[in-house]
Structure 1
Amino acid sequence: MKTLSLALIVSPVVLCAAVLAPAHAQSDVYVCMNGDGTREYKNTGETKGCKRVDMQGISMIPSPYKKPVVQTASFSRPAGPAASPASPGDFPKIDSGTQKARDTDRMQILTEEMKVEERKLAALKQDYNNGEPERRGDERNFAKYQDRVASMKDDVSRTEKNIEALKREIGNLK
């Protein structure tokens, strides 16, 4: 059993080594079938049942050098005006009237989403009752009640974060 698993691990390693070896080490590679049906890669085909593997020469072309991009963990906006990347000449242009209409539509959608989230937050806070919501009849076990309270607290927190994000988006449009 150990030789079988070792042969399964070693044979791909030997194949990779044979394929990736430098030019002076490139010689014939043979795949041989053992008596138990496992494959074994060898550099000689003296054993019965070995077949030569035709391996094309590997040509390696180096990629052009690119300066690595360093990313920072800063989430603040840069101090100066951001340089916009140049767009191709055939890139479609949008006239200012169309863009203003789109911005107005976006502002309206964000405002409606904000109202919906604020109504949702008010309902969640009412149900949450400052961390002490009413117990339901199916919550005989106190752990179930605590799980529901924790879930409600998470919902309130998530909705507050959604409202903050919507306010930021609306602020960016102004």
Structure 2
Amino acid sequence: MSAEATLALAVAVPAQLAQVDALMRSAFTPYVRRLGREITADAYDWFGQAIAQGDIYIALDGGEIVGAIATRPRGADMELALISVSPMRQKSGIASFMIGRVAEIARSRGLQTLSLTTAEMMEDRIRLYRRHGFEIVRRGLPEHGKDAHMRVHMERVLAADA
């Protein structure tokens, strides 16, 4: 039985904020450290509002939150701002499951693209996103200026998926 067979995607609710925050921190700490930084205490202060707006999706395996995607709607695009999987469950198909389901949601809303940004040095992530139809549309330094690692901005056109 595949990991996908036991997973469900749901919209996060306010009562799950602490769990989503903890999951994101545990998943992103190694990534951010590779960039030479640490996650600040206030880095995810925007999650409460995002959950209230229905913009954070969680992957559930039974009652356990094993993944989360924080999105930012922008016109005809849905940005996948953060994609995280529980460190103990990484490389088991959860990220692929979530990306696929969120793409279905975006398409059902009539959105035209999904977009995301990742560090250019994170080649495994770039390969994952390419497997899901994302292409690099530009490269550049991060707007936040907290590190000097190049980022790749990727996009997936949903209209061609139908």
> Shared fold by TM > 0.5?
no
Structure number with the higher helix fraction is: 1
Greater RCO (Cα-Cα under 8 Å, separation 6 or more): 2
Greater gyration radius? 1
TM-score (norm 2): 0.17
